[in-house]
Structure 1
């Protein structure tokens, strides 16, 4: 049964509960049957409070990417399947003093890409440049565990945006659980601090256009028309990646003992207050710490690359850092709840108590990436977002698999979408487009339709549109 609430909000009655979908007519019509089967599987986890899809929803492992799922803390559940494998994966944006015309020259942009690559390992097997960073410090203390030289604004302690303009600088947890981490993982994580990773992770240099209706907010955030910004997408690398298979196995064994199950072997869950639940929740927090530090160090490397090209005085303060793969205790409806977001972004409105202090007045920037050849967006949450626990999309969302993309999309089509050969060409760090064909814009939904769905649902509005100028992809 389908109930249309209007404003791009539909409620679908499935066999085991209700699924809320926030999408315009075109996006809703394009959703495949399997996403509903996956939602119904998820709804078999008892006592669900809320389950929804954002318009970028698409099939994942155990749970669709684009899912928000909520349980009460007092009698609820946590699911590694609904968090996803790249724990803490998220977005970060830095502001620069440059305008688009300052880097319009393609030779200069190529020089900038090469310079950034000196400081940012983009190869999957490349090792971290930061050997004096102690993994035990950063997974325990987040950004506060970094050596002082990596906090660029440490000399102005009252304006340390590195620590204040982020969703969380430190996630607190019981560090005794770190004793469960195998020795080889500590070494591997040490090699990966400040590394980009592959897949859909990227560093993108963009030029922004302010939306007139939100110009006042943009000015308060320090945004200007034509300004060059740096957008970064990455996560917790192997540190978070190890927890997916580890806890899928652990949870499966526990579920078997408890006599419970789901139709999908990749979908597992445990009570929040169980030993398994507490182990996962605590170690997940360590992965969130690793993720925010990893993006911070990627930004540090990018800043060093810009300095090499534009001079040692070049600065690029952070606008915001946030995540879109996690489960967190949050207060909603006057009670504590466990909010899972798998490929969804928290977008809090002005005045919401969970906002970082710097963004109490306006609401925080919600950072939504496009798909390399298309626009990305900086949004701000609306009060109407309460109906979806303040969750919006996390990007465009894949419309076809990597394999299907390689089979169906030609290099010429990819090149055309990147405006190759024109003055507006989006430059990439890879020697050939073939190596990143599976990440071409044609692999993703139309991001403008996704943004239209979110705005039409009253969940958030656009502050700035970000046009890509150059992209660094990991392989």
Structure 2
């Protein structure tokens, strides 16, 4: 049974509970039946308050990417499956003073790619430059745990953008939870700070077009038509990655002991207040600290690289940094809730008290990547977003697996999507497109339809469209 709420909002009555879906007609009709089976499995977890899909929803491990799931803090549950394997994965945007005309020459863009690749580990799994950073400090304190010279503006009262223009600089947790982390994980994670990772992670140079009805907001944020920005997508690397198999196994053991389960063996959960739940939550927050610091250090490396190319006066102030794989205690409807977002982005409207002070009057930037070769978006939340706990999409969402993409999409069609050979070619750091074919635009949904779904649902509005001009991908 489907209840039509209007404005791209449908409520489906499934066997185990109700699922809210925010999608326009075209996107809704394209959703695979498997996503509903997966939702029904998720709804077997007791006392669910709210569960929804954003238009980029697609099948994941245990839970669909594009899921928002909410429980009461006092008697709810935490699920590593509904957080995702790359804990703290998210987006970051930095502004520049460059205009598109400044980099129209492909030779300049190629030089920028080469400079960044030289200073930022794109393909390597470890970084050897940051010997003075103590991993324990950033695990405990996030960006505030970095040595001063990596965050110079944080020590200048009038210029603290690195700490104020982001979702959160430090996630507090019980540090005793770190006692059980194996020594090999400390060693592995230490070398990965400031590294990109593979898959869908990227560093992208983009030119922006301001939405006319949001020009005042855009300008107040420091954006202008034709501006070149740097968008970064990465997460917690090995530090967060270790928790998936570790806590799936631990939660399965606890669930067996408690006599509870779900139809999907990959879907695990525990009461928030249980020993297992608290241990996972504390270590999840440690991974969020790594993730936000990792993106900060990637941006630091990009700025250092471009200063070497363009001069020391080149600056890259941060616009915003946010996550899309996490679970947090949040106040909603005057109650303490525990909100999971797996592949969904928080988009708070103007005036919401959880906004950083710098964005109280407008709402914060919500950063939505497209696929390589298509536009990304900078959005802002609307008050009607309350109906989905202020969650919107996190990107385009895959329509083909990596294997299927390689089997079904030709390098020639990928080349056409990247406009290879034209003046508007989107340059990449790989020598051949074949090596990154599984990340081609054809592997993803139409991001414009995804954004149309979000705007039509009145969850958020577009502030700027971001067109790629150069892309750096890892392996």
TM above 0.5 = yes
- CA distance in structure 2 between the partners assigned to 1:218 and 1:131 by the alignment: 38
User: What residue in structure 1 maps to residue 289 of structure 2?
Assistant: 289
- CA distance in structure 1 between the partners assigned to 2:222 and 2:53 by the alignment: 32
Whether the 8 Å CA contact 1:96–1:227 is kept in 2: the answer is yes
Question: Is 1:311 the counterpart of 2:311 in the alignment?
Answer: yes
Quote how far apart the aligned CAs of 1:154 are: 4.2
- CA distance in structure 1 between the partners assigned to 2:421 and 2:152 by the alignment: 37
Quote how far apart the aligned CAs of 1:191 are: 0.6
Q: Secondary structure at the match of 1:158?
A: coil
- CA distance in structure 2 between the partners assigned to 1:150 and 1:90 by the alignment: 20
Whether the 8 Å CA contact 2:154–2:161 is kept in 1: the answer is no
Whether the 8 Å CA contact 2:126–2:193 is kept in 1: the answer is no
Which stretch of structure 1 is more off in the superposition, 296-305 or 126-135? 126-135
Quote how far apart the aligned CAs of 1:327 are: 0.4
Q: Secondary structure at the match of 1:186?
A: helix
User: What residue in structure 1 maps to residue 192 of structure 2?
Assistant: 192
User: What residue in structure 2 maps to residue 81 of structure 1?
Assistant: 81
Unaligned runs of 5+ in 1: none
- CA distance in structure 1 between the partners assigned to 2:117 and 2:7 by the alignment: 44
User: What residue in structure 2 maps to residue 179 of structure 1?
Assistant: 179
Which stretch of structure 1 is more off in the superposition, 180-189 or 89-98? 180-189
User: What residue in structure 1 maps to residue 63 of structure 2?
Assistant: 63
Which stretch of structure 1 is more off in the superposition, 142-151 or 116-125? 116-125
Give per-residue Cα distances to partners, 1:356-401, cap 9 Å, x unaligned.
1110110000000010100000000000000000000000000110
Give per-residue Cα distances to partners, 1:378-430, cap 9 Å, x unaligned.
00000000000000000000011000000000000000000000000000000
Q: TM-score, normalised by structure 2?
A: 0.99
In the comparison of the two structures, how many residue pairs are matched? Answer: 475
Quote how far apart the aligned CAs of 1:126 are: 3.8
Whether the 8 Å CA contact 1:195–1:294 is kept in 2: the answer is yes
Give per-residue Cα distances to partners, 1:226-265, cap 9 Å, x unaligned.
0000000000000000001100000000000000000000
User: What residue in structure 1 maps to residue 14 of structure 2?
Assistant: 14
User: What residue in structure 2 maps to residue 219 of structure 1?
Assistant: 219
- CA distance in structure 1 between the partners assigned to 2:427 and 2:152 by the alignment: 28
Q: Secondary structure at the match of 1:256?
A: helix
Whether the 8 Å CA contact 2:125–2:195 is kept in 1: the answer is no
Question: Is 1:230 the counterpart of 2:230 in the alignment?
Answer: yes
Whether the 8 Å CA contact 1:355–1:364 is kept in 2: the answer is yes
- CA distance in structure 1 between the partners assigned to 2:131 and 2:420 by the alignment: 38
Question: Is 1:329 the counterpart of 2:333 in the alignment?
Answer: no
Q: Secondary structure at the match of 1:379?
A: strand
User: What residue in structure 2 maps to residue 474 of structure 1?
Assistant: 474
User: What residue in structure 1 maps to residue 105 of structure 2?
Assistant: 105
- CA distance in structure 1 between the partners assigned to 2:299 and 2:166 by the alignment: 13
CA-atom RMSD, angstroms?
0.7
The structure-2 alpha-carbon separation of the partners of 1:456 and 1:219, relative to structure 1 and needing over 3 Å to count, comes to: same
Q: Secondary structure at the match of 2:219?
A: helix
Quote how far apart the aligned CAs of 1:306 are: 1.0
- CA distance in structure 2 between the partners assigned to 1:316 and 1:127 by the alignment: 22
Whether the 8 Å CA contact 1:129–1:194 is kept in 2: the answer is no
Question: Is 1:246 the counterpart of 2:251 in the alignment?
Answer: no
Quote how far apart the aligned CAs of 1:124 are: 4.3
Give per-residue Cα distances to partners, 1:58-100, cap 9 Å, x unaligned.
0000000000000000110000000000000000000000000
Quote how far apart the aligned CAs of 1:157 are: 2.6
Quote how far apart the aligned CAs of 1:123 are: 1.1
Give per-residue Cα distances to partners, 1:148-186, cap 9 Å, x unaligned.
010142453322100110100000000011111110111
User: What residue in structure 2 maps to residue 263 of structure 1?
Assistant: 263
Quote how far apart the aligned CAs of 1:347 are: 0.1
Q: TM-score, normalised by structure 1?
A: 0.99
Give per-residue Cα distances to partners, 1:283-311, cap 9 Å, x unaligned.
00000000000000000000011101110
User: What residue in structure 2 maps to residue 32 of structure 1?
Assistant: 32
User: What residue in structure 1 maps to residue 379 of structure 2?
Assistant: 379
The structure-2 alpha-carbon separation of the partners of 1:306 and 1:22, relative to structure 1 and needing over 3 Å to count, comes to: same
Whether the 8 Å CA contact 1:89–1:236 is kept in 2: the answer is yes
- CA distance in structure 2 between the partners assigned to 1:337 and 1:126 by the alignment: 37
Q: Secondary structure at the match of 1:305?
A: helix
User: What residue in structure 2 maps to residue 150 of structure 1?
Assistant: 150
Give per-residue Cα distances to partners, 1:213-235, cap 9 Å, x unaligned.
10010011000000000000000
Q: Secondary structure at the match of 2:45?
A: coil
Whether the 8 Å CA contact 2:154–2:163 is kept in 1: the answer is no
